[in-house]
Amino acid sequence: MNFFETILWPLRWLVEVVLVLWHQLFTTFGMSAESGLTWVLSIIGLVVVVRSALIPVTVRQIKSQRRMMDIQPEMKKIQAKYKGKNDQFSREAMSRETMALYKKHGTNPFSSCLPILIQMPVFFSLFYVLRKASENTVGIGLMNRELTDSFNQAEIFGAPLKMNFTQGWESQNWVVVGLLGSIVVLMIASQFFTQLQIMSKNVSDETKSSPMYRQQKILLYIIPFAFLFSGVTFPLALNIYWMTSNIWTMAQQGIVINTMPNPGSEAWRARQARLKAKGKLTEDAPEAGNDVPKQQGQRQQPISAKRAKKKK
């Protein structure tokens, strides 16, 4: 057992428990223990458990992203303050002020990565569970000899769940090749659509004019193709997990964008229009960024009682 496997040991044990419990549930309802469909549904059940547990983290991520948008004016002031200053003292000072701003508002730029960072250990734990099973090695938890043999025999449409694209190509199992090819296309499409709906509908007009947005737009066309590596390297069962998780993300983002859009974005304006049409939003409701009423004219200075008496 290598160092990485040792670190993931507790999570591997937990993944096995969830996977086996779902498998036992489906076999209780009369499904075959050796059926590939039973194992596929068990993997989907694992996705449901993992992603449901991550809902509080996702909500926290959304709130943090909102705070990041709120502090953009202050961020611009800090950037303008140190513009053109490349000495070490200025860079350190800018970094300190930026971190202090993040701390003050309880946010940071890495918050959007939190759900994916939490998911990755689960993904690799499942990878080790399935790899050990495909090597005919008994698991460390509930994955006993009987279940290990069951997984090794499991097929869906004639495609063994333990087989990856390369193995399918070498053995000329074109069902595996076709299924994994289709899954990769679906994963790339779902990832692209998820990011596209965020960037086109849930980003404020001010953010769209920033250089960072233009950089993210370039990544929109690059990042989804990382799934090509997953499709070729990982077994069919693991790709089913990742595809299901992607579909969950796409649906979740759609719900978030419709119900909790970022102020000033296209989705926010569409929601305001829906609420207005239903009579739930008055005409004088404050717009995004205009929640604080502006004072008209010059502020009146307080006067003393003596000066007030002279005026009379």
- Average pLDDT rounded to a whole number, residues 7-21: 89
66, pLDDT greater than 80:
no
Of the candidates 147, 56, 57, 63, the one whose C-alpha atom is nearest the C-alpha of residue 105 is: 63
SS3 category, 204: strand
Partners of 159 in beta bridges:
156
**pTM value > 0.85:** no
Quick one: pLDDT band at residue 38, thresholds 50, 70, 90? very high
- Average pLDDT rounded to a whole number, residues 28-46: 91
Residue-level pLDDT at 282: 60
283, pLDDT greater than 70:
no
Tokens describing residue 222? 């690059």
- Evaluate the CA torsion angle 148, 237, 226, 191 in order and state its sign: negative
Q: Residues near 267 by Cβ (< 8 Å), separated by ≥ 6? A: 201, 202, 257, 258, 261
- Residue 252 CB burial class (10 angstroms; 0-12, 13-18, ≥19): middle
- Average pLDDT rounded to a whole number, residues 234-244: 88
167, pLDDT greater than 90:
no
Segment among 47-56, 94-103, 125-134, 280-289 with least mean pLDDT: 280-289
Tokens describing residue 164? 């990856």
User: Containing H/E element for 159?
Assistant: strand 159-160
65, pLDDT greater than 90:
no
Of the candidates 270, 248, 250, the one whose C-alpha atom is nearest the C-alpha of residue 260 is: 270
Of the candidates 111, 102, 51, 68, the one whose C-alpha atom is nearest the C-alpha of residue 253 is: 51
22, pLDDT greater than 90:
yes
Q: Taking the CB of residue 11, how many other CB atoms lie within 10 A of it? A: 16
Phi, psi angles (nearest 5°) of residue 279: 80, 15
| Distance from C-alpha of 308 to C-alpha of 65, rounded to nearest angstrom | 51
The C-alpha torsion from 115 through 117 and 120 to 122, rounded to 10°, is -60
Q: What is the mean pLDDT of the chain?
A: 78
293, pLDDT greater than 50:
no
295, pLDDT greater than 50:
no
Would you list the domain boundaries of the chain?
1-155, 157-277
